[in-house]
Chain A
Amino acid sequence: MKKEKILIADDSEMNRSLLSDMLSEQYDIVEAEDGVEAVSILRSSCSELSLLLLDIMMPNMDGFGVLEAMNQNGWIQDLPVIIISSESGSAERAFSLGVTDFIARPFDPEIVRRRVVNTMLLYAKQKRLISIVEDQVYEKERQSDLMIDILSHVMEFRNGESGLHILHVRNLTDLLLSCLVRKTDRYKLTMSDISLISTASALHDIGKMGIDEKILNKPGKLTDEEFAIMKTHSAIGANMISDLPVHQQEQLVKTAYEICRWHHERYDGRGYPDGLKGDEIPISAQVVSLADVYDALTSERVYKPPFSHEEAVEMIVGGKCGAFNPLLLECLTENIERFRSALAEDPLEEAKRSKIRSISEETLKNEGGGVSKRTLKLLDRERVKNSFYATMTESIQFEYGVNPPMMNFSVWGAKKLGVDEIIMDPLNNEKLLGIFGSGTREMLSDGVRSTSPDNPELKLDLPLKIEGEPRWCRIVIRSLWSDDAEPQFEGAMGIVQDIHDAHQKMQELEKKAARDQLTGLLNRESARQQIELKMLDHSDGNFALAIIDIDDFKKANDVYGHMFGDEVLKFVAAKLRDSIRQTDISGRYGGEEFLMFLEYKTDIEKTVDRIRRSICGTYEHYNVSVTVGVALSCELGRDYEKLLHAADEALYYGKRNGKAQYCFYNDSMKDILTDET
């Protein structure tokens, strides 16, 4: 038989081995050096463990931290914990966090062994009992649901309502209550209370049995007298229930009484039969009342067409159909989509589906092994498979959990990145931030926030620092969500692929496409992109944008031919490239015009003068001279279009005033281009 597994979490190696020595004959032992490691082991293999022996005083995360994580993740329900500590003062807190037993130091090995055995036996027995009880409760609920369904159908038949009203009210009641418990704990409702109220809601109109059919199904408006009779149905229903000869102590019966009697009360106290006000009306009746009105509005009746969801909500919130608890109205308006879909779903279809579900459960049950054991085995195999692939594929894989914030890397991945396999609070981990770069954190969290349970995947290409070198990586992330009606973000898993080589190739290609064929300088479009990028990048700094134009270039073309003209362009481009720093930007704007973009600290005029001079010269006896128009970001702002236009105007001014010079834009040149043309 396979040995059961015990996790020992204690920071002292000696204490661990003392316990391990005592227990290793009968059990498999797993050890954790501190709370962080313990939680990591629990996260990956809680279901394989049968017991946790936990020390309180530990570095990084203490025993209470472990217990809190176990509570948050629900592990405490499945795994018994025995605390071993000399801190007897903390026993009470430990018990309140759900531990099963507390053993004080110095301990007697025989006692430890006995308590371990007892705890594990008790838990196994308890688990078996729970599953038996669950099955029986399920069976019982199913049968009573069935009876209520039959009863309500009979009632609807008599009331002439659509066959779905009671099902609708039940769905809506359930939905409203689930929203309500999220909002407030004022009503102390448990999950079983909610299911009880929803079930009992089916009986809300049972009193209509006692109303004359002629009044009940009258197509037109009721007379005052008829309406007074109609109104008695709530009291009649309540009496029917309180007259039941048996079951008066049953919670379901009590709840049904509340609902029958008071589902026509109003929050402002102007309802019937008792004129109860506010929370004097039991919450069960308040909720059913709202569900009843909502469904009546959105359904077709002999005397009215159906209203749309929006119209119905507007009428209810506007106080046209009674007065309700404001909290419930919030539940209604804040969950519009869910209410719409609750009714859009065909309840008969839903019923069919749940029937199939229970049949399949039965089949599984009859197979002998029981569901849980089979599932656990499958899970186990999945886990083995995962860790096998993770070690074989040499990829960086990771899992992230929100509660507590923690990251696990695959063995190979941790080694490759040079980080620990388990990292607590990873979003603030210096080492990780160093690898991912500080900006990446926001990018990642924004990205993850953009995912949803329906659309959980995210792909990001980023440069990561791996072994000290920046390398382009693709991170593929899948976010993980809870099963709640309103899913909560619980974490993510992902894989990091090295795409550096492919990325380099792409960049090479992009670079080629970004260059002017003749001169090898950036073309106009990519020069613009780079300039704009640069202006975004640097928080402070002054920039100069210049347009450089070759004087009398047309003459060179005309006299010496186009081939020669091309050579002149190449000559100027080379000169330009050589006269600026690597961090500056040069490009070909078009024709014989070039772009230059400089960052400067002092005396930009001198710099521009120097560059202009160095570009001028003789190429094959031909005198090359240029005119330069310059615009400064400190005057015009970091706006590429604005700067370009101003530089162009300065250039024009220089050309008109004798060429072979540089010109800085000033306001007197404003609109010089448009005025001339």
Chain B
Amino acid sequence: MTLEQCYGAMGADYGDVFGRLRSERLIQKFVLKFLDDKSYELLCSSLESGNNEDAFRAAHTIKGMCQNLGFTVLARSSSALTEALRNGPTPEAGQLFEQVKADYALTVSSIEAYKAGLEA
């Protein structure tokens, strides 16, 4: 699997990120790094415990990373969730979180698949 295919699998635009970062090596490094980031765990746990402030920050961080890496789909849903949490919890946050969950799972599974291909 190529990096471009990996982006395709998660519904993201490789052309956009390559246009900005201009180095496949750099993009690869940070795409793999995305797997180690703990913001998603923080998002889940703080939503569960009702800590809106931490949840907002975590959603915000995910959004930022996705924007930098051109993960368009997850960037869009995490951005929507960020806004829903910005001024305290809102009713639509729950549904938006479900969307983030799904997009995150897709993104991570795409990267995992790409990573497995590298190691093979």
Which residues of A pack against B, CB within 8 Å? Answer: 11-15, 17-18, 21, 57-59, 85-86, 105-110
Contacts and interface: CB of A to CB of B under 8 A. Distances in A.
A106 to B, nearest CB: 4
A59 B60 CA distance: 12
A57 B82 CA distance: 12
Contacts of B67: 86, 105-106
Contact of A17 (B21, B33, B57): B33
A663 to B, nearest CB: 66
B39 to A, nearest CB: 7
B91 to A, nearest CB: 23
* Best-surrounded residue of B39, B57, B61 (most CB of chain A within 10 A): B61
A431 to B, nearest CB: 21
B57 A106 contact: no
Contacts of A17: 30, 33
B61 A12 contact: yes
A14 B63 CA distance: 12
Given A21-B26, A86-B64, A109 B33 contact: no
B41 to A, nearest CB: 14
A57 B68 contact: no
A13 B42 CA distance: 14
B60 A18 contact: no
B37 A105 contact: no
A13 B38 CA distance: 10
Contact of A12 (B20, B21, B29, B64): B64
A59 B57 contact: yes
Nearest to B71: A106
Contacts of B33: 14, 17
B37 A12 contact: yes
A109 B21 contact: yes
Chain B, interface size: which category?
Answer: 20 to 34
B110 to A, nearest CB: 17
A14 B70 contact: no
A388 to B, nearest CB: 36
B9 interface: no
Chief secondary structure at chain B's binding surface: helix
Contacts of A14: 30, 33-34, 37, 65, 68
A18 B31 CA distance: 11
A58 B54 CA distance: 10
A395 to B, nearest CB: 37
* Best-surrounded residue of A18, A21, A58, A110 (most CB of chain B within 10 A): A18
B85 to A, nearest CB: 12
B70 to A, nearest CB: 7
Nearest to B34: A14
* Best-surrounded residue of B20, B37, B68 (most CB of chain A within 10 A): B68
Given A18-B68, A107-B68, A57 B61 contact: yes
B68 to A, nearest CB: 5
B64 A109 contact: no
Interface string B85-119: 00000000000000000000000000000000000
B21 to A, nearest CB: 6
15 contacts: A12-B39, A14-B65, A15-B61, A15-B65, A21-B29, A57-B61, A58-B57, A59-B54, A105-B64, A105-B67, A106-B20, A106-B69, A107-B20, A107-B68, A109-B22
A391 B71 CA distance: 46
B57 A108 contact: no
Nearest to A12: B61
A108 B67 CA distance: 11
B26 A105 contact: no
* Best-surrounded residue of A15, A86, A106, A110 (most CB of chain B within 10 A): A106
Contacts of A13: 37
Nearest to A15: B64
Nearest to B82: A86
Contacts of B29: 21
A58 B58 CA distance: 10
Nearest to A19: B68
Contacts of A15: 61, 64-65, 68
A110 to B, nearest CB: 8
B39 A86 contact: no
Contact of A11 (B30, B34, B61, B69): B61
Contact of A106 (B22, B39, B54, B68): B68
A17 B29 CA distance: 10
Nearest to B17: A106
* Best-surrounded residue of A17, A105, A107 (most CB of chain B within 10 A): A105
B7 to A, nearest CB: 14
Contacts of B39: 12
Given A57-B57, A109-B21, A18 B30 contact: yes
Nearest to B60: A57
Contacts of B30: 14, 17-18
A109 B65 contact: no
B94 to A, nearest CB: 22
* Best-surrounded residue of B21, B34, B64 (most CB of chain A within 10 A): B64
A109 B65 CA distance: 14
B55 to A, nearest CB: 12
Given A59-B54, A110-B22, 16 more contacts: A11-B61, A12-B39, A12-B64, A12-B65, A14-B33, A15-B65, A17-B30, A18-B30, A57-B57, A57-B60, A57-B61, A59-B57, A86-B63, A86-B67, A105-B68, A109-B21
Contacts of B60: 57, 86
A11 B56 CA distance: 14
Interface in B48-86: 54, 57, 60-61, 63-65, 67-70
A109 B20 CA distance: 7
Please name the 6 residue pairs, one residue from A and one from B, whose CB atoms are nearest each other, closest first: A106-B67, A108-B20, A105-B67, A106-B68, A12-B61, A57-B60
A430 B90 CA distance: 34
A42 B61 CA distance: 24
Contacts of B20: 106-109
Nearest to A89: B86
A125 to B, nearest CB: 30
A12 B65 CA distance: 8
B52 to A, nearest CB: 14
A85 B61 CA distance: 10
A17 B31 CA distance: 12
Contacts of A85: 64
Contacts of A106: 20, 67-70
Nearest to B23: A109
B82 to A, nearest CB: 9
Nearest to A58: B57
A267 to B, nearest CB: 52
Contacts of B37: 12-14
Contacts of B34: 14
Nearest to B62: A12
A256 B115 CA distance: 79
Contacts of B26: 21
Nearest to B56: A57
Interface string B6-43: 00000000000000111000100110011001010000
A13 B64 CA distance: 12
B67 to A, nearest CB: 4
A25 to B, nearest CB: 13
A412 B22 CA distance: 45
